[in-house]
Chain A
Amino acid sequence: MDAILLQILNGLDKGSAYALIALGLTLIFGTLGVVNFAHGALFMIGAFCAVTFSKLLTLSHTIIDDTRKDFLGNPMKVDVPYIHEFVGQTTGDAIIDWAVPLSILFAVPVMIAIGFIMERGLIKHFYKRPHADQILVTFGLAIVLQEVIKFFYGANPIPTPAPAVFAGSFDFGAMLGFDPNTIIYPYWRLVYFGFAAVIIGAVFAFLQFTTFGMVVRAGMADRETVGLLGINIDKRFTIMFGIAAAVAGLAGVMYAPINSPNYHMGMDFLVLSFVVVVVGGMGSLPGAVLAGFLLGILESFASMSAILELIPGINQIIIYLVAIIILLTRPRGLMGRKGVMEE
């Protein structure tokens, strides 16, 4: 029982990331009808927003501290972040400590801007082109984005810690009456899950309760008719793309402490997120979220040593395997609508 609970918890954070990326992919596909292979790169850029923001906060200048001496007896040179001078040392350190959550503020405008530029500059011209062309051009873009990041940040993962408060782990087992230390779960992952839930809720609420969202949903259901009604969907699609980019970016920002950002993390997640979208049902938002969590949890179960002893390597392929089975038995995915991407 406790082992099962632990695996479910373990699957939640990865599942959250899948769900968020898949949500954005589905939004873009459902509204714009575009298959965006560069969506993983947006996730990756989000993570690097966190990296950049931390670096900006810790931008330092060197001063000579007369009170301390180095081993030669000379006054010691100390790097002091500029932020200490603006807000004082204590507040400054606190801000640096909270760099990752704070970088949300930085990432949202950046991601929306990137989304706008992408849609206006590139994607827009591919609405009427075949899906193969869309896949190919966004695939090229994904390569370009990841290489640009690699150029500026190098190929190695950059550790980006969560605030110290969340550094510890949470003993679920003790809380639920199991033996202590059987189900321990890092606080940050819990935060990530909560964060993902809030974002997903916000996106759904936005689509459900605003006029804008209503038009977008109508557009997803029947694009031509909405266009005929004289509603300028193009503009809304641009905004939708920006939102999808922001969702992916935020997923990346908060994921930075879980997995040190590297330039190819986007592609790693993209392939899986596409599988998630397909399993959930192309064009179905609830399907994307559901499949994201399901597959995340499934993957975590497959990584249990008891299961690995039974079927070695299953953790590596479980998601693909499920996708293949789903696609063959339920072509529309778990919650796919009729008529979306069918022959």
Chain B
Amino acid sequence: MFGLSKRDAGLLFVVALLCLFAPFILNPFPEGSAMAQFNGGYPDLMQRLVIFGIFAIGFNILFGLTGYLSFGHAAFLGVGSYAAIWMMKLLTMNVIPAIMVSVLVAGLFSLLVGWISLRRSGIYFSILTLAFAQMSYALAYSVLTPITGGETGLQPKHTDPRILDGALPAGQSPRANLFGLDMKASTQLQLGDWVFTFNAGYYIAAAIMLVAFYLSIRIFRSPLGMMLRAVKSNQQRMNYTGLNSKPYTLAAFVISGMYAGLAGGLLVAMDTQVGAERMFWTASGEVVLMTILGGAGTLIGPILGAGFIKYMENIVSKINDNVLHGWFSFMPDGIENFMVTIIHPFVGKGWHLTLGLLFMLVVIFLPGGLVEGGQRIGNLFKRKKADPKSPDGTTTTPAE
């Protein structure tokens, strides 16, 4: 199917199903119940899940395949975002040109950064990319304010030229759309106590993610993908096999930069705003974490990682002391207060602490990420059933 092996096609199908039914899957709690605040099935979060999924899929093509650890990929996301917002300001609020230009601009920028950074490898490469990203961030915040809006960032305004769109009626704010379909348009479905939201922007982003995922599978299974893994495995042998590893690595870098730009463009398509903080190096760190948490070098890993982190961020940051007291109310008061005090630093505003701990735990105990964890558990069961003659782990098993 689509030129994929049965297994890969199955994987794509599963991801497609997950995307399609995300509004249900993420909304397990009935409206009005105490747990309803933990429902994740609202448009903003769902959009972020798939958009950061794209970002991580792209990053994985570079880091997962070639092993080059970039600490500056947020810069490409940011550049893509700025490009998209300018398309919306100058051309049209239709998201198509915005997204296309964001991919193009991020691709060109990553070509420049990659061309320079890839002259070095290992930690030097990481620091070079970090330096470029920090430079972009600093410039976006200061000198480039006319282009980037500096601290306030950019938003489409009523007064923007937008040469392809007709003039907006007075008082109406510009809205991102796809040939007239508003990104924010949602329909709700009520089933008993449950309310499910279907959002146009989400489904468009999810469709794009599926295409991005499909392309990444093709890259993984192509000669290019094999060469990129060869880069990671043994550059010496590669060079002595008549292969020039530089353009291969650069290709991976630019592809992943374009994915980042696509994610940046989509973010703008959804919320029509951008600020320089999107390029800060913590944002670069986040995509590294997503990829590793899910499983670097595996197909599904980055999507799982991005989904897991964005979802957890949503849930954990909503837990406050009241919620905690509610959870532990069955305990005697003293213990209840104690438990709340213990957990308090990790929830709500303490999300970053949890994130940092998670990061360390994954790197220490599960370098292969969730996918490896899933495989280990899977193997455990297999071993009980029958003698496992499982082949090596170069191919990916869906870890649902």
Do chains A and B directly touch (beta carbons under 8 Å) in the complex? Answer: yes
Q: Name A's B-contacting residues (CB within 8 A).
A: 35, 122, 125, 131-133, 135-137, 139-144, 147-148, 151, 267, 271, 274-275, 278, 282, 312-313, 316-317, 320-321, 323-324, 327-328, 331, 341, 343
> Do B357 and A320 have beta carbons less than 8 Å apart?
no
B331 interface hit (Cβ, 8 Å): no
- With A147-B356, A275-B131: A343-B235 Cβ-Cβ less than 8 Å: yes
Q: How far is the CB of B290 from chain A (nearest CB, A)?
A: 12
> Do A135 and B281 have beta carbons less than 8 Å apart?
no
Bound complex: CA A328 to CA B115 (Å): 11
- With A35-B123, A143-B356: A317-B350 Cβ-Cβ less than 8 Å: no
A312's partner among B130, B143, B235 (CB-CB below 8 A) is B143
B215 contacts across to A, CB distance below 8 A: none
B360 interface hit (Cβ, 8 Å): yes
> Do A317 and B357 have beta carbons less than 8 Å apart?
no
Bound complex: CA A323 to CA B292 (Å): 28
> Most chain-A CB neighbours within 10 Å: which of B126, B127, B289, B360?
B127
Bound complex: CA A323 to CA B127 (Å): 9
- With A271-B281, A313-B139: A144-B360 Cβ-Cβ less than 8 Å: yes
> Do A144 and B353 have beta carbons less than 8 Å apart?
yes
Give the dominant DSSP class at B's interface: helix
> Do B123 and A151 have beta carbons less than 8 Å apart?
no
Q: Other than the known A144-B360, A327-B128, what 19 A-B pairs have Cβ atoms closer than 8 Å? A: A122-B364, A131-B123, A132-B126, A139-B288, A139-B359, A140-B358, A147-B352, A147-B353, A271-B130, A271-B131, A271-B134, A316-B135, A316-B142, A317-B135, A320-B132, A324-B116, A327-B120, A328-B119, A343-B122
A131 contacts across to B, CB distance below 8 A: 122-123
Closest Cβ neighbor of A144 among chain B residues:
B356
Bound complex: CA A327 to CA B125 (Å): 10
Bound complex: CA A328 to CA B281 (Å): 22
Q: Name B's A-contacting residues (CB within 8 A).
A: 67, 69, 116, 119-124, 126-128, 130-132, 134-135, 138-139, 141-144, 235, 281-282, 285, 288-289, 292, 345, 350, 352-353, 355-360, 363-364, 367
Q: How far is the CB of B68 from chain A (nearest CB, A)?
A: 9
> Do A151 and B350 have beta carbons less than 8 Å apart?
yes
B367's partner among A122, A133, A320 (CB-CB below 8 A) is A133
Bound complex: CA A202 to CA B200 (Å): 65
20 A-B contacts (beta carbon < 8 Å): A122-B360, A131-B123, A132-B126, A133-B363, A137-B364, A139-B285, A141-B356, A144-B360, A267-B282, A271-B131, A271-B281, A274-B130, A312-B143, A320-B135, A321-B135, A323-B128, A324-B128, A327-B128, A328-B119, A331-B124
> Do A317 and B123 have beta carbons less than 8 Å apart?
no
A147's partner among B119, B122, B350 (CB-CB below 8 A) is B350
> Do B132 and A324 have beta carbons less than 8 Å apart?
yes
> Do A323 and B123 have beta carbons less than 8 Å apart?
no
Bound complex: CA A296 to CA B19 (Å): 50
Bound complex: CA A122 to CA B363 (Å): 11
Bound complex: CA A315 to CA B139 (Å): 10
> Do A141 and B360 have beta carbons less than 8 Å apart?
yes
Bound complex: CA A331 to CA B363 (Å): 29
B69 contacts across to A, CB distance below 8 A: 132, 135-136
B128 contacts across to A, CB distance below 8 A: 323-324, 327
- With A151-B350, A317-B138, A327-B124: A140-B363 Cβ-Cβ less than 8 Å: yes
A316 contacts across to B, CB distance below 8 A: 135, 138-139, 141-143
> Do B142 and A313 have beta carbons less than 8 Å apart?
yes
B67's partner among A35, A132, A313 (CB-CB below 8 A) is A132
Bound complex: CA A141 to CA B362 (Å): 12
- With A274-B130, A324-B116: A140-B67 Cβ-Cβ less than 8 Å: no
Bound complex: CA A47 to CA B122 (Å): 31
Q: Which are the 6 A-B pairs with shortest beta-carbon distances?
A: A313-B143, A143-B356, A140-B359, A316-B138, A140-B360, A147-B353
Q: How far is the CB of A150 from chain B (nearest CB, A)?
A: 8
B285 contacts across to A, CB distance below 8 A: 139, 143
Q: How far is the CB of B256 from chain A (nearest CB, A)?
A: 16
> Do B127 and A331 have beta carbons less than 8 Å apart?
no
> Do A328 and B116 have beta carbons less than 8 Å apart?
yes
B353 contacts across to A, CB distance below 8 A: 143-144, 147-148, 151
- With A135-B69, A136-B292: A278-B130 Cβ-Cβ less than 8 Å: no
> Most chain-B CB neighbours within 10 Å: which of A144, A312, A343?
A144
> Do A151 and B345 have beta carbons less than 8 Å apart?
yes
B355 contacts across to A, CB distance below 8 A: 143
A275 contacts across to B, CB distance below 8 A: 127, 131
Bound complex: CA A140 to CA B288 (Å): 11
> Do A137 and B363 have beta carbons less than 8 Å apart?
yes
- With A144-B360, A147-B353, A147-B356: A323-B131 Cβ-Cβ less than 8 Å: yes
Q: How far is the CB of B279 from chain A (nearest CB, A)?
A: 13
> Do B138 and A313 have beta carbons less than 8 Å apart?
yes
